[in-house]
Amino acid sequence: MFKTILVPLTGFDSDNTALDTAYLAGRPFDAHIVCVHVRADPAHLAAKSSVYDLGTGASGAEFFAALEEENDLRSKRARIAFAEFCQRWQVSVSDTHAGSKGVSATWREVKGDEVDTTIALARFHDLVVMGRAPVASALSTAGIGAVLIGGGRPLLLATSRTPESLGSTVAIAWKESPEAARALTAAMPLLACAGRIIVLTAGDDPGKAGPLVESAERVATQLRWNGLAAEVRYLVPGGRSLSDAVLETAAALGADVLVMGGYGHSRVRELVFGGFTRQVLTASPLPVFLFH
């Protein structure tokens, strides 16, 4: 079950859909949603920022003052998003959740590095739900990828719009790999609530579809042994990228979330992702459940 869900709040518009998506994911489990805004340390930002250059005419004091002003604004926006979320869904605010019914939530604000702190917090929750923050922010695509790889927990990536439902029809992007197998296991609480599960597998050559379909059928059989309604679809990209083909097919079949392995690794502080994972992190039209 997803009983504790972490939602990093950035102070950007993406917070709203991340919160709503977390609520939909946690509602079947009476989950407790921990909403954390990491207030960036100006000294740390200055050390990392290429903008911090006294040769531009801005003094050190002016630069730090501007960073603090931005911190204040983002903190205020995050608090407002949290308050509006609780009102919108009638979520109770509580620091304890033992034995209670319905979704509850907690607000926390801490100071530190946004990415490193989020990774550390992720390890103590069943699920992390993140929105797509603006490109220039720490928890944009690269930050999301770092949390996915370093957090050790499943990550549900929200889209720019709140879904009408989450998990009624689930698509699985299947390839026979450790990442995909781990994602399937991590997603079992979500799959157990689904009315329909579609296992998608893809290849460029229909003549070589046999092994791919057989592998997908074995996954569907495993799910059926768990009492779940699963079917298999083989698709040919037909000039599209593999990621576009899977995402478009999942949406056309009425899926409201896609489950997939997160393919990537960290190499000397640089995140390296395959094309599929990169496309999903930047532009998936569906919420995506990822596990590395």
List, for residues 3-29, the tens digit of each pLDDT value. 999 999 999 999 999 999 999 999 999
Per-residue pLDDT at 288 exceeds 60: yes
Per-residue model confidence (pLDDT) at position 283: 83
**What's residue 136's pLDDT?**
81
Pairing of strands 230-235, 257-261: unpaired
The pLDDT value given to residue 55: 47
Contacts of 223 (CB under 8 A, 6+ apart): 191, 197, 199, 230
Asked if 26 contacts 6 with a C-beta cutoff of 8 angstroms, the reply is no
Judge if pTM exceeds 0.85.
yes
Burial level of 289, CB count in 10 A (0-12/13-18/19+)? buried
Domains of the chain: 4-157 (3.40.50.620), 169-286 (3.40.50.620)
How does the average pLDDT of the chain come out, rounded? 89
Q: What is the pLDDT of residue 53?
A: 46
Q: What is the pLDDT of residue 48?
A: 57
Q: Tokens in use for 23?
A: 């609520």
Question: Residue 51 — pLDDT band, cuts 50, 70, 90?
Answer: very low
Determine whether 33 is exposed, middle or buried from the number of CB atoms within 10 Å of its CB (0-12, 13-18, 19+). Answer: buried
Among 183-187, 235-239, 268-272, whose mean pLDDT is lowest? 268-272
pLDDT at 54 over 50: no
What is the mean predicted confidence (pLDDT) over 90-96? 89
What does the pLDDT read at residue 271? 66
pLDDT for the residue numbered 46: 62
Mean pLDDT of 37-60: 63
Distances (CA, A) of 59 to 45, 52, 71: 15, 9, 18
Res 59: pLDDT: 65
Residues 46-75 as b or e (16 or more Cβ within 10 Å = b): eeeeeebeeeeeeeeeebbeebeeebeebb
Confidence of residue 287 (pLDDT cuts 50, 70, 90): very high
Residue 49: partners with Cβ closer than 8 Å, 6 or more residues away:
none
Q: 266 or 124: whose pLDDT is higher?
A: 124
